[in-house]
Chain A
Amino acid sequence: MKLKEFFAPKTEKVDEEKDLIRFLSEVELFENLTRNERKNLSQHLYERTYKEDEIVFKKGYPNVVMYVVKEGELQTFLDSTDGESLKTIKPADFFGEVGLFLEEERTATIVASKDSILLGISKRDMNRFIDEFPSAGSKILRKLATVLCTHLINTNKALAGKRDAFNTLKKQLEDYEYQLQELKSSPEVESGKS
């Protein structure tokens, strides 16, 4: 046996690792990382397989793991899983990032709507990675800030749209009410009543 093989036995795992490192470059959060940094990060990733309709976590659970979707599709629910899905999560998306910063509980329930493969990284490992590799860490954090800001802007826009719609509805309602009042106070209605 060669010495090198003894210390680093070649297995299928090597190819898997390469795939994983390549995949990480497709994830928005990690796209700026160098290959070496991605390799180091991949050491902390746990690959999990979920079947259709399997729950990843529920609202109210402690924030422990952040996930990146490798394959499949998942749905976000705010209240119960019977209700309408808030958002569909697709490959190369990530979720559970809130836990990196806040000690709060999970704010939504995530359910796999197709058979999915997720890459989980524990909150503590992620924070340690950011501390241990500051340059990679700052890239991830900057990207994360961009993503969160985009979310915020989109939410604001959506909110503004909802507010406009609400205002038009309100105005229409007021108009109808006014018309109704006028109709009530007009003499024909009064005479009809009597």
Chain B
Amino acid sequence: MDRIRVIRIVIGIMTLGIAVLGILFYKSILSYLVISGILAYLISPLINYAQKFHIPRALSILFVYLIVIILIVILINVIIPQVKTQAEEASKFFKQIVKDPGAFSLKSLGLDGVSRFVDRLQTRFTFFNVDEYTQMLGEKFVGLINAIPQILINSLSGIINFLAFLVVIPFVCFFLLKDERQLMKTFFSWIPNRYFEFSIYLFEKIEDSFGRYLRSILLETIIVTILSYIGLLMLKIPYALTLSIIIGLTNPIKFFGPFIGFVPVILVILFSPVPNVMVIYAILMSIIIQQIDSNILFPSLVGKGLGMHPLWVLLTVIAGGYGFGVLGLLLAVPVVFLIKTVIQVSATSLRQFEII
């Protein structure tokens, strides 16, 4: 009997070793797999829906790809020129400020209230020179914009990585989508009979709450982007498309997202050569969109919500931001929510299935 035990232990160690080696070997493309997994997961309902009409999976996936490519081409043709002219204008503008400090100050913005406020500030606190601060901000901004080409050249390997990223992800995504059921079958076939029903139960419960959350967030982002694009167009704020995309992308960040997304809008209004739009209107627009989002979109899409206390959510966002930067801000809440769901579902069902 002891011999069998020894053999089992040896085989166990070998399996573990192979698994570790495998992870090390595929380590560099792990992020690709994760991203393609998330993408495939988001697209999958569309493909399943098409299957209802007896359209082969491969065909519908290719069709989705075609639409995505067309969208990307349109976006590149619309956004890149906009961003480029914006950057050029801003750069020119700031260079002039640096050369001739008198040409620009907050006082020259044409906003009477603001300039009066600045005046008052300066008479009271003589050490506080608003114009100097704005000028410093401007210099930093110019420095950043001038540095962009240098950053791009320096990170040539980064670009190659990025290209590989662009090629690999659609391929992985394609096969994940096409063989979705096959992959699931293979995965569940590894699980022993004792835990088979439990694992299916766990998987489905998690998919019901977390998957729904993930898909709703995507839809919410798209809707908020479109709404703010319309709003910005109505207010005739320049670079509406770029700004609305920023607003949409930062929107999923709990609590801080709307504010972070709105900073570029304020900057554009304040720093545009002719600040002909009142900041207050833009703020009003932001508030209206936020109200629509939190009172109509979020409840109807995400449903009951996360079931996490607002304070917990707030702390999670802050911790994520500290630990992992922008990505942390965006992903901290979903990841914590996922872990919470796993623990919650396992706690009850492990007992029901008499595993513990």
Chain A contact residues, CB within 8 Å of chain B: 7-8, 13, 36, 40, 43-44, 46-50, 54, 56-58, 60-62, 64-65, 120, 122, 124, 132-133
Q: Which residues of A contact B48 (CB under 8 A)?
A: 132
B204 an interface residue at 8 Å Cβ cutoff? Answer: yes
Contact in complex: B200, A65 (CB < 8 Å): yes
Contact in complex: B204, A65 (CB < 8 Å): no
Contact in complex: A62, B201 (CB < 8 Å): yes
Q: Which residues of A contact B52 (CB under 8 A)?
A: 132-133
Instruction: Please name the residue on chain A nearest to B199 by beta carbon.
Output: A64
Q: How far is the CA of A158 from the CA of B79 in the complex (A)?
A: 76
Known contacts A47-B189, A65-B200: A40-B353 contact under CB 8 Å: no
B51 an interface residue at 8 Å Cβ cutoff? Answer: yes
- The SS class assigned to the B binding surface is helix
Q: How far is the CA of A122 from the CA of B208 in the complex (A)?
A: 14
Given A13-B182, A47-B189, A64-B200, 11 extra CB contacts under 8 A? A46-B189, A47-B185, A54-B193, A60-B352, A61-B354, A62-B349, A62-B353, A64-B197, A65-B196, A65-B197, A122-B200
**A-contact 0/1 string along B198-242, CB 8 Å cutoff:** 001100100000000000000000000000000000000000000
Contact in complex: B353, A120 (CB < 8 Å): no
Pick the contact of A61: B54, B181, B182, B197 (CB < 8 A). Answer: B197
Contact in complex: A50, B193 (CB < 8 Å): yes
Q: Which residues of B contact A50 (CB under 8 A)?
A: 193
Number of interface residues of B (CB under 8 A): 21
Known contacts A44-B181, A50-B193, A132-B48: A61-B353 contact under CB 8 Å: yes
28 interchain pairs, CB-CB under 8 A: A7-B178, A8-B58, A40-B51, A44-B181, A46-B189, A46-B200, A47-B189, A48-B196, A54-B193, A57-B197, A58-B354, A60-B352, A61-B197, A62-B197, A62-B201, A62-B352, A64-B197, A64-B200, A64-B204, A65-B197, A65-B200, A120-B200, A122-B204, A124-B204, A132-B48, A132-B51, A132-B52, A133-B52
Using a Cβ cutoff of 8 Å, how many contacts connect chains A and B?
A: 49
Q: Which 7 pairs across A and B sit closest by C-beta, in order of nearness?
A: A43-B181, A64-B201, A64-B197, A132-B52, A122-B200, A124-B204, A62-B352
Known contacts A46-B189, A58-B354, A62-B352: A120-B196 contact under CB 8 Å: yes
Q: How far is the CA of A46 from the CA of B200 in the complex (A)?
A: 10
Contact in complex: B193, A61 (CB < 8 Å): no
Q: Which residues of A contact B58 (CB under 8 A)?
A: 7-8
Q: How far is the CB of B136 from chain A (nearest CB, A)?
A: 58
Q: How far is the CA of A107 from the CA of B319 in the complex (A)?
A: 47
Q: Which residues of A contact B349 (CB under 8 A)?
A: 62
Q: How far is the CA of A54 from the CA of B269 in the complex (A)?
A: 71
Q: How far is the CA of A43 from the CA of B57 in the complex (A)?
A: 12
Pick the contact of B54: A36, A58, A60, A64 (CB < 8 A). Answer: A36
Q: How far is the CA of A86 from the CA of B201 in the complex (A)?
A: 27
Q: How far is the CA of A46 from the CA of B181 in the complex (A)?
A: 10
Q: How far is the CA of A80 from the CA of B3 in the complex (A)?
A: 36
Contact in complex: A46, B197 (CB < 8 Å): no
Q: Which residues of B contact A122 (CB under 8 A)?
A: 200, 204
Q: Which residues of B contact A58 (CB under 8 A)?
A: 354
Q: How far is the CA of A124 from the CA of B204 in the complex (A)?
A: 8
Instruction: Please name the residue on chain A nearest to B187 by beta carbon.
Output: A46
Q: How far is the CA of A61 from the CA of B352 in the complex (A)?
A: 6
Q: How far is the CA of A120 from the CA of B349 in the complex (A)?
A: 19
B26 an interface residue at 8 Å Cβ cutoff? Answer: no
B281 an interface residue at 8 Å Cβ cutoff? Answer: no
Q: How far is the CB of B230 from chain A (nearest CB, A)?
A: 35
Q: How far is the CA of A120 from the CA of B189 in the complex (A)?
A: 11
